[in-house]
Structure formats: structure tokens, C-alpha cells
Structure 1
């Protein structure tokens, strides 16, 4: 039985501009002659582009003709359509649910959205999640029999306790817990803010609520992958805030609720610069709090390049990369030869070789359905400039693995068909970083945080950050002693 041909990729860093060049070797021209011809044509076009501004200057002195206004009208129409699409996407991003309503997480987390202006003054849509600085937590409930009002600390164990409840991880109690018995009524929570502890009598149980001050251990800045947006990481943010980590996330240009044509990235260097500027803003607002950068897929490549700049590296405790796009190569060398030319001439052109169906990025059918039915996820064919930028940043990183010195944790699925897990292994082997770790998940696909085992992956990331903070703290203590 013949094998079924796999459709082209629809997510990640590669495989979406390749179909134009299928079956090239079977053409009437040889590969070498065709390649030389394309290089020659490319050179002619480049010279033409260099001479083009002079022609425009000479024609500018002449009075405009009625026909010359058509390109400007067309350009204005395209800009207006792009702005309308951005406003539509921003409204969708604002309306996106940022917390789950299945439990009491909203009472333990503060969240918000904001606009950050990037290096090119483009408006970038941002999200944040933080553990509530001061909040009420349930300590325990017990039967009121033989109950006497008293002042107690957390170390006291009441023999009548029937339903012990653990405090939040690393939660700190201010002073002592004061039990205030109330006769058979529900206490008004509005007046609870100034109390150290509140006791509520409900039916036959006394419920003790504790006023807790939360210490933020660190802040993670999330840089999402190609074609998606930061709102997809709300569940991951929940796990981080439950362990007392703050979370910021930024939509790239042309993604989510940010400015730009949907799915179009004029330069990944701009995304790198935006990431550095966003991190500087966060550090200025939270001085002294450790920061981590997280990047998925192409976002991982952005994070790795950003961390290669000394002024950004010194602001970070480390970086986390999931399925990073580190070795992205076109299926045919011709693509690499013509990509620079096409990205200059027709940067926004979409190759029609890709569609919504393709190689799965998760083994969870519900996660796939949620991703490709999300209106903020770009599912169209890849734009020429975007594809060229991915090839360019991947090539740069591949040449500079040995210069990586920042602490990092790279995670990759061994069954990933979108980005190369062996490239992650090469990064780990060749990087000069003293503090580095790698974890390869057997049989996992590309979107690790949307696999059925996403909670396990998230916990591995949290454990690594805690280990990194502990190591950093120990080093600081040793240095202070010397």
C-alpha cells in the first residue's frame, strides 16, 4: 500500500514557501545552470533597485498626471484596511478571557492589558498576570464544639480540625492569626482588608480566612511563537502565578492585538529590539526582582538573539526555550537564493502552497481545534518577508552557538516535525553557558505547552527557575563573604 503524502506545514518556522519549487530537479534545465541564471537575474534586479531612486527624483520635478495618483490611492486604501484589521484584532484581544472561572484563581491573581510602543513606535499589545499582593486565603475549617476565641500562630494545630487546607506556596502571614468568632452569619469581606485573620461561622463550621502578603519570586516575560499570540498562554500564567511568579507577555508586530498586517513581520531584529525595550520597562517598574525570558519556536530564536546582547543579558537570570527555531533550512537551496530578492520586491506576498491542514503540532485534538479556530491565530500562507526573516535569524544563531553565555533551559519534543530537536541538542552541547539544561520529551510534538502533558512541562520550567534563583542566591552569598 502506497504511503499517504503528508501535507505542508501550517505552523512554526519552515515549510510554507517550499511548494513553489517542487519537482525542480525534473525540469528541462540542470540545477547548476538554473541556479546561475537566478543569481544573474537577482543581480540585475538589485542594480535596478539601486538606480530606481534616481529615476523617482527626476520624475518628481514633473507635474503629476492623473494616472500617477492611482498608486498612492491604492497605498492609502491598503493602509486603511490594515488599520481596520488591527483595531478588529485588538478588540478581540481585549475581550479574550485571561483567567479561568473553574476555581478561585481570579481571587488570587491580578491581571491587566496594556499597550507598549516599540522601537519603531508601533503599538504592541501586552498582558500581565501577578499573584495578588495582599489577599484572603482559606486556612482551615472546623467544628465549633469546645471552641474558645483565642490568638494563635500558624504553628498551632487545633485538635478539632476536620478539613486542613494548605497555604499558598511561599505565602507569608503578617504577624499573627486572630480568630474572631461571629454568631451564625456570613462576614462581609469588604471589611476584611485590615484584619490579620477572619473567622466566619457558617452552619456548623467555623471557617478561618487569613490575610496574606505574597512575595513575588521573579517575573517571566513570554515571547510567543510565529502566527500565534500571548493570550494562548493564560493557562501557563496560572501555574506561574500560583508559584508566586509574575508574568508579562507581548504580541509581536503583526500578531494578536499589535499593530501591523496580520502575519507579516518586516524584521525579526525589530522584534528582538522590542523585546529588549519591553524588558527594560519591566525592570524599571520592578527593580531588584529577577526576570526570565521565555520564547517558543520562532519566539525562542528571538529570545536567544536578544540575550546575546550584553545589556539585555545583564537584566536576566536566565532564558527558557521551547521548540526553538534554531536550524531552519529550506527544502531546496533555490529558496535561500531567491528569498532575499523576493523579500525586497514583494515582501507581503503570500505563497499559496500552505493551508490550514498539515502536520499536527500537538497530540491533543482539542488543543489543535482551539488553535486553528482562534481568530487571533494567523492561518494564511506565510508572507515572503516573514519567511526570509526566519531563515536569516536561524542562520545567525547557528553560527553563534559557541558565544551563548546566558543560563538557559531548552525543551524539545523528539517527534517535532516543525523545528529540529537535534538543533536544541547542538545548542546545549556547544554553548559556553555554565548554567544550562536540556530536556527532550520522547514522542512529544511542537507545541509543548499544549500537549496533553502541558502541566508537567510547565512544572519542569518552574522547577528550573527556582533552581536557578537558588543557585544565584548562593553565589551572591559566597561573593558577599569574600
Structure 2
């Protein structure tokens, strides 16, 4: 295992040398010399062991295990020390040179990212937000998150009648808030207001498209967004809605007592609660590669070929939408999904917020049995689950989307009646 890990470290070093425009620092040179000296020492001990194998004396039987133990200890010490050098010592004594290839490359990358953000924000502004039938009014705005990122937001409100409550929509991975315009319209017809926020790296928000540096940042942004909405609409009951990875974000946000106290309940559709890597090795190396090459696109984890709706028109609309990220998942983003789902699985019994979880039994993206486990294990006094036989991942884009939306509205109205 240590030798395999050492080989992985050596491969990462080569990647880092490439990222440094083939400029090898003194730390890296020292690393290479130490690496080859370690290999020489291990090979030398292996040679000694092989020479002693033919011996039949009791002394050799005692010495060989000692040599093997010493070799294992040496490999462990070298591996630990090389890890320290690789991740801590690389930047020691490094002088930033203005106009260096690395700095110019980073500057060009930031310019490209900003240009892409402006392009996506312009597209987000042009997304249709409803029918011109006079039943609701809508608006777009920019909300600044906890890290001062500009996050693109939408809102829909009924034109007539008293407001029953407000739903805050947190979309799923790779999509955007504009996809929920029809769902928002159905909510406004029942006198619910709707707010929706694009994550960082999604829709019209700041960041590289499809890249999420930390889902904890999305959780924090969700909490801050909710607090802002509550301050603008005092006395109006609020619900949090999350789809897929957005469901995981909402559930983790609602695990904080101050957030739970601000909502009447949470609604989760196809939540990402038990996400497994495509291969155990992927799960083992993901934390390391998410640090070394976080924006790298990992084609092995791309699930685009998996159907998410039984409505062909909905599939065409999704994958032809320029605001929907359809490229391979980025390493850091994938690692963050594994991390948040693992956290939630360990803390099902700590969930106390009222919730309604909906899942299709034929979902191939997220696990419907994990939703059942959440329902069985959660400590919430008010909890409901509905499994739709044969339905796929994007429940609100299935042919029966209006019936599913009505199930959600009925649950919200029931919660409001019980809380009076």
C-alpha cells in the first residue's frame, strides 16, 4: 500500500511540474533525489533478503523478518515525509516573478472565467420566467453570498390574493433556477411566493461553469439567502425546496438550529443522500486530486447517458439549454458531492426538521432507498415520504409533473394548517 501511495505522490509531482510550466524548484529537485535514494535503499534491502533466503540457519529466519519490518518502516517514513514536502514545502522560498508564465496563465484563466460568467448571466436574463397571462409577477436580482460571490436569483409572486407562504428553490447539480419557472407558476396560482438562487458556478452566478469549490459554501449561501428573504417578508412562513444535490444542500442547511427555526419544513425531490464513486479507487484518490487539480474534468464519472425523465421533450430541453452544464464532472465538485452525502448518511438520526421526501423508484442517478432510510431513521416528528413507481430522477420534469407539484403544495398547505 505504501509503495502504491508513493507512486501516486510521484505522479502528482509530475503533474505539479507540468502546472509550473516545467519549472522545477529546489524543493522538487530535493524530492527527486530523496525519492531515488529511498528506492535504492528498499531495493538494496530486497537484494539482501534474497541473498539470505537460501540460508538454513536459525539466524537467517530471525534476521529476514527484522529486515522486512525495517523496510516497511522505512517506506512509511519516506512516504510520510514526501507527502509533507509535496503539499507543504512546495511554496517555501518561492519568489513570485511579475509576468511569469504561471502568473500570466492564471490571469488568462480568470479573464476567461469572467467572460464566461458575463455570457451566462446575459443568457440567464433572457430565460423566460412564465406565461404572460397576468397571473404572477416575476423579477431577477443579484444576491451576494457569504464569500461575496454574485449569485443570480429569480422570484415569482401572485398578483392577486393574500400570500400563504414562500418557497425557496435550490436547484440540482449542473442546472439552474430558470428551469423551475413552470413549477413556480403553479405555486403562485395557489398563492405561494417563490424565490430561487443559482449556485456558484451555475446559471447566471459567478464562477467557472460546473465547478463548485465547496458545497459548504452553497449551504452557507442558502442560509444567508433564507435570512435575507425572511427579513424582506416578515411574518410569512417559508419552506426550503431542494432537488438532487440541492436536496442534500437543503438538508444540511436545515440541520443548523437557526435555519430550522426559520422554516416550516423542507421538501426534497430525488435527494443525493447515498452517492458512491464509480470505483473504490476514485473515492480513495478524490481528496488528493481535488486539491491538486480541482477543476479537472473527470470523464469516468459523467452520467449524461442516464435518462432522467420519461418525457423526451424534457430531455431535449434540458440538454440543449446552454445554461445547463453538460461536460464531465469536475474533480472538486465530485468530491464535494461524495463528502456531503457521506456526512448526511452518518447524521440521519440527527435530522429533526419537518420534511417531505419524494423519489422515483426507477431513479438511476440517486438512490431511492437512501430516501427511505432518511425517512426511517430521522428523528423528525413530522416526516412524510412518497415513492413514485417507475419514475426517474427529474420528478418535476416527468409527464406527471403537475400531479407531483400538487402533492408538494398539498403538503405545504397541510403544514400551514397544523402550525396555526
- Give, in angstroms, the shift of residue 332 of structure 1: 2.0
Whose helix proportion is higher, 1 or 2?
2
Is 1:224 aligned with 2:171?
A: yes
Secondary structure in 2 matching 1:59? coil
Is 1:459 aligned with 2:400?
A: no
For 2:39, the equivalent position in structure 1 comes to none
Structure 1: tracts of 5 or more residues without a match: 1-31, 134-213, 474-482
Is 1:51 aligned with 2:82?
A: no
Residues of 2 paired with 1:46 and 1:308: CA distance?
35
- Give, in angstroms, the shift of residue 33 of structure 1: 7.9
**Which of 400, 403, 421 matches 2:350?**
403
- Give, in angstroms, the shift of residue 350 of structure 1: 0.6
Residues of 2 paired with 1:232 and 1:215: CA distance?
26
Is 1:415 aligned with 2:362?
A: yes
Residues of 2 paired with 1:409 and 1:356: CA distance?
26
Do the aligned partners of residues 132 and 81 (structure 1) sit closer, same or farther apart at CA in structure 2, a change above 3 Å counting?
same
Count of aligned pairs: 351
- Give, in angstroms, the shift of residue 48 of structure 1: 1.5
- Give, in angstroms, the shift of residue 302 of structure 1: 0.1
Is 1:120 aligned with 2:147?
A: yes
For 1:322, the equivalent position in structure 2 comes to 269
Residues of 2 paired with 1:375 and 1:460: CA distance?
30
Residues of 1 paired with 2:210 and 2:9: CA distance?
31
- Give, in angstroms, the shift of residue 330 of structure 1: 1.1
Secondary structure in 2 matching 1:419? coil
Secondary structure in 1 matching 2:390? coil
CA RMSD after TM alignment: 1.8
1:39 touches 1:337 (CA, 8 Å); kept in 2? no
Secondary structure in 1 matching 2:281? helix
Residues of 2 paired with 1:398 and 1:355: CA distance?
23
Residues of 2 paired with 1:39 and 1:425: CA distance?
38
- Give, in angstroms, the shift of residue 354 of structure 1: 5.8
Residues of 1 paired with 2:122 and 2:306: CA distance?
30
Is 1:244 aligned with 2:244?
A: no
The C-alpha deviation readout for 1:279-327, integer Å capped at 9, x for no partner, is: 0000000011000000000000000000000111110000000000000
Runs of 4+ in 1 over 2 A off after TM superposition: 32-47, 352-357
Do the aligned partners of residues 354 and 344 (structure 1) sit closer, same or farther apart at CA in structure 2, a change above 3 Å counting?
closer
Is 1:392 aligned with 2:419?
A: no
- Give, in angstroms, the shift of residue 333 of structure 1: 1.7
For 1:263, the equivalent position in structure 2 comes to 210
Q: How does 1:83-102 map to 2 (within 5 A)?
A: 83-101=114-132
TM-score, normalised with respect to structure 1? 0.70
TM-score, normalised with respect to structure 2? 0.81
- Give, in angstroms, the shift of residue 49 of structure 1: 1.1
Do the aligned partners of residues 109 and 467 (structure 1) sit closer, same or farther apart at CA in structure 2, a change above 3 Å counting?
same
Residues of 1 paired with 2:378 and 2:184: CA distance?
29
For 1:375, the equivalent position in structure 2 comes to 322
- Give, in angstroms, the shift of residue 39 of structure 1: 7.6
Is 1:73 aligned with 2:104?
A: yes
Residues of 2 paired with 1:355 and 1:232: CA distance?
21
Residues of 1 paired with 2:338 and 2:109: CA distance?
27
Do the aligned partners of residues 76 and 463 (structure 1) sit closer, same or farther apart at CA in structure 2, a change above 3 Å counting?
same
2:278 touches 2:300 (CA, 8 Å); kept in 1? no
